[in-house]
Structure 1
Amino acid sequence: MTTWITICDTCKCAGWEVTGMEKTDGEALAELIEAAASGATDVKTRRVSCTMGCDRACNITVQANGKINYSLGTFEATKSDAQAIVEYAGKHAASANGQVPYREWPQGVKGHFVSRHQPLPE
């Protein structure tokens, strides 16, 4: 089953307005996640404008039908954060119900979980 990484492309980290960045932090993170997931067969990405987690920018969600879904935040637009997100999403895709044992979490996602969403009823 496919796991989706939904990336907020409007996220701006504190101080963004003085950095002179031509794109938002969310756009930069989205590009890195898309590149890291480019060869994955069980993980897909999509961008959305605003997940309403501005205090925790940059935000993503990890989602799949019939599985527990997760919101994560406070990422930076770095290759290591993007790789950790994609690695975690791959483990989510491989799990039966969306739960990935803590010992299997990539270090780069630890401390970034915001909330867990139970699957919708059938």
Structure 2
Amino acid sequence: MTTWITVCDTCKQEGWEDGAMEQTDGEQLAALIEDAARGTETIKTRRVSCLMGCKHGCNVAIQAPGKLNYTLGRFAPEAEAAEGIVAYAEKHAASDSGQVPYREWPQAIKGHFVTRHPPIPADE
């Protein structure tokens, strides 16, 4: 089953306005995640403008139908973070419930979980 990585491309870390950056931190992280996910069979990526987690930027959501969904934040726009996010998403995709045992979490995502959402019920 496909797991989606949704990346907030408007995230800006503290002090962003002081730099001469042409891209937001979220845009930079999104590009790195897209590169890291290229060629994976179970991961798709998308960008959205604002996940409303500004105090936790840079934010991503790990999502799949019928599974636990997660919001992660406080990432620097770096390759190590992107690779860890994609590695976790691959484990999420392989899990029936979306839950990944802590011992299998990539180091790069530890300490970055913000929220967990139960799956939406299949019927009313």
Q: For this structure pair, what is the TM-score category when the shorter chain's length is used for normalisation?
A: over 0.9
Kindly provide the amino acid, as one letter, of the partner of residue 102 in structure 1: Y
Report the Cα distance in structure 1 between the residues aligned to 2:116 and 2:49, rounded to whole angstroms. Answer: 20
The structural deviation recorded for 1:109 is: 0.3
Mapping for residues 17-32 of structure 1, pairs under 5 Å: 17-32=17-32
**Number of paired residues?**
122
CA distance in 2, matches of 1:9, 1:23: 9
Counterpart residue number, 1:111: 111
* Alpha-carbon offset, residue 56 of structure 1: 0.6
Distance 1:119 1:56 in 2: 23
Equivalent pairs: percent with the same residue? Answer: 64
Q: CA deviation at 1:67?
A: 0.2
Determine if the alignment matches structure 1 residue 62 to structure 2 residue 62.
yes
Structure 1 residue 70: Cα displacement: 0.2
Shift >2 Å, 4+ stretches: none
SS of equivalent residue, structure 2 residue 41: coil
Deviation at 1:80, TM superposition (A): 0.2
Match of 1:85 in 2: 85
TM-score (normalizing by structure 1): 0.99
Displacement after TM superposition at 1:83 (Å) = 0.1
Alpha-carbon offset, residue 18 of structure 1: 0.5
TM-score normalised by structure 2 residue count: 0.98
Specify the code of the residue in structure 2 equivalent to 1:57: G
Q: Residue in 2 aligned with 1:41?
A: 41
Q: Distance in 1 between matches of 2:110 and 2:57?
A: 16
What secondary structure, in the 3-state scheme, does the structure 1 residue paired with 2:70 have? Answer: strand
Structure 1 gaps, min length 5:
none
Distance 1:106 1:89 in 2: 10
Q: How does 1:4-15 map to 2 (within 5 A)?
A: 4-15=4-15
